[in-house]
């Protein structure tokens, strides 16, 4: 390019200027939300800047998901394909109309970084924001299993969570160190989690104690609590024995000698209780 050309570009750089003022991306969205809008609010200094292109990327520069070159219609690409209201216009102005993306029924796999890039022939601006689509708990339960006189097993479970959950069983506000937490991901990318803690009557302060199961999803404000009160010295019962498999496994691995005639008795009572 000759000097005159450079001078013209410098003098006229305002003709092509583009600036992103604000990137509106909801940081936390609950799964099941009807729709959300990601809005890239930009400004151009000329009414028809040469070569205006706007693009949205998901999780970095290789994840193009949306492209709009006014006055052509926008294109939805990649992970957002089929999930966007293609007729959605956020503004009546021709250079602003399709700058935003309306995502219908956002799913957890859309959690990540969204980058808006707006460019003209000589200038470019970009902004990135994070979004997390979380899945609240299904089947969140906290219960006691009382099979031995001096011992109670506390079990807390929850399913279909996203992102990877944190679970703790608390006694007087402090997590029980002996709790074993097991987290699994299913083929949909959702997590189930179980926390199990055995508490000996000697460790129970007073005649009874309240235990709390705390479930939370990191980087969201989602926290749920369930509590149960254990009465020390209570008689073994069968009414909470629904999780049959895992407790049997724990009996075997805990090193306690199993009194088969006793266990068979409990299984029989459970069987009778369930039949009712
Ligand atoms: C998302 O953005 C954050 C900070 O903006 C960055 O640390 C992280 O690596 C990005 N993740 C991906 C997958 O691009
Ligand atoms: C996008 O990046 C986030 C981290 O920023 C990560 O948790 C998520 O799994 C990524 N999503 C995909 C589909 O790669
Ligand atoms: C979490 O809750 C606090 C207080 O209600 C609020 O100020 C904050 O913005 C929330 N954070 C998110 C990520 O929703
Ligand atoms: C097992 O339990 C039964 C019934 O409570 C009792 O009669 C028996 O003595 C116990 N056996 C052992 C080995 O503890």
Per-residue confidence band for 16, with pLDDT thresholds at 50, 70 and 90: low
| Closest ligand 2 atom to 58 CA | 1
Q: Decide whether any atom of ligand 1 lies within 6 Å of the 126 Cβ.
A: no
Give the whole-number percent of the chain exceeding pLDDT 90: 62
Alpha carbon of 125 to ligand 1 centroid (Å): 18
Domain enclosing residue 250, as ranges: 138-270
The least confident of 27-41, 129-143, 200-214 is 200-214
Q: Are residues 59 and 170 in the same domain?
A: no
Q: Is residue 43 one of the residues assigned to a domain? A: yes
Q: Which of 80, 102, 134 is the last residue of a domain?
A: 134
CA distance 2 to 164: 58
Q: Is residue 11 one of the residues assigned to a domain? A: no
Residue from 271, 269, 236, 251 nearest 144 by CA: 236
Asked if 116 contacts 162 with a C-beta cutoff of 8 angstroms, the reply is no
Alpha carbon of 221 to ligand 3 centroid (Å): 6
Model confidence over 76-109: pLDDT tens digits? 999 999 999 999 999 999 889 999 999 999 999 9
Q: Is residue 235 one of the residues assigned to a domain? A: yes
What stretches of 128-259 show up as alpha helix (H) in DSSP?
245-253
Q: Are residues 126 and 230 in the same domain?
A: no
Chain-wide mean pLDDT for the chain? 83
Q: What is the pLDDT of residue 191?
A: 98
Question: What CATH number corresponds to the domain at position 238?
Answer: 2.60.40.10
- The DSSP symbol for 135 reads B
Alpha carbon of 238 to ligand 2 centroid (Å): 44
Q: Are residues 117 and 30 in the same domain?
A: yes
Q: What is the pLDDT of residue 13?
A: 57
The least confident of 221-225, 243-247, 259-263 is 243-247
Model confidence over 224-237: pLDDT tens digits? 999 988 888 777 77
| pTM for the structure as a whole | 0.75
Alpha carbon of 85 to ligand 2 centroid (Å): 23
Q: Are residues 213 and 231 in the same domain?
A: yes
Q: Are residues 245 and 190 in the same domain?
A: yes
Q: Are residues 188 and 120 in the same domain?
A: no
107 alpha carbon, closest ligand: 2
Q: Are residues 26 and 123 in the same domain?
A: yes
What is the pairing mode between strands 124-134 and 28-30?
parallel
pLDDT surpassing 90 at residue 261: no
Q: Are residues 177 and 98 in the same domain?
A: no
Q: Look at the chain and report how many structural domains it folds into.
A: 2
Q: Which of 134, 168, 188 is the last residue of a domain?
A: 134
Return the residue matching tokens 């199961």.
213
Q: Decide whether any atom of ligand 2 lies within 6 Å of the 59 Cβ.
A: yes
Rg, C-alpha atoms of the chain: 29
To test the ligand 3 pocket, which listed residue (36, 133, 221) has its Cβ within 8 A of the most ligand atoms? 221
Within 10 A of 142 (CB to CB), how many other CB atoms are there? Answer: 21
The least confident of 1-5, 81-85, 153-157, 241-245 is 241-245
Whether cis (ω within 30° of 0) applies to the bond prior to 32 is no
Q: Decide whether any atom of ligand 4 lies within 6 Å of the 262 Cβ.
A: yes
């Amino acid at each position: 390019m000759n000097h005159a050309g450079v001078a013209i570009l410098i003098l006229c750089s305002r003709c092509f200027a583009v600036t992103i003022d604000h990137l509106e991306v909801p940081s936390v969205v609950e799964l099941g939300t009807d729709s959300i809008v990601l809005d890239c609010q930009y400004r151009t200094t000329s009414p028809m800047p040469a070569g205006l292109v706007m693009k949205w990327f998901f999780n970095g520069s290789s994840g193009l998901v949306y492209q709009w070159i006014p006055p052509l219609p926008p294109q939805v690409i990649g992970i957002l394909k089929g999930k966007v209201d293609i007729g959605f216009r956020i503004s009546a102005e021709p250079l602003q109309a399709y700058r935003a993306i309306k995502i219908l029924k956002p799913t957890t796999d859309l959690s990540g970084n969204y980058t808006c890039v707006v460019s003209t022939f000589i200038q470019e601006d970009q902004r990135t924001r994070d979004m997390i689509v979380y899945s609240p708990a299904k089947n969140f339960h906290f219960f006691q299993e009382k099979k031995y006189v001096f011992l109670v097993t506390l079990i807390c479970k929850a399913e279909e969570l996203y992102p990877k959950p944190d679970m703790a069983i608390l006694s007087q506000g402090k997590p029980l160190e002996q709790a074993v937490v097991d987290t699994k991901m299913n083929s949909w990318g959702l997590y189930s989690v179980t926390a199990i803690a055995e508490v000996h009557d000697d460790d129970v302060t007073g005649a009874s104690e309240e235990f709390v199961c705390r479930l939370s999803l990191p980087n969201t404000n989602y926290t749920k609590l369930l509590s149960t009160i254990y009465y020390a010295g209570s008689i073994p019962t069968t009414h909470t024995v629904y999780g049959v498999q895992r407790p049997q496994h724990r009996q075997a691995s805990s090193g306690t000698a199993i009194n088969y005639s006793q266990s068979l008795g409990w299984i029989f009572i459970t069987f009778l209780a369930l039949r009712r």
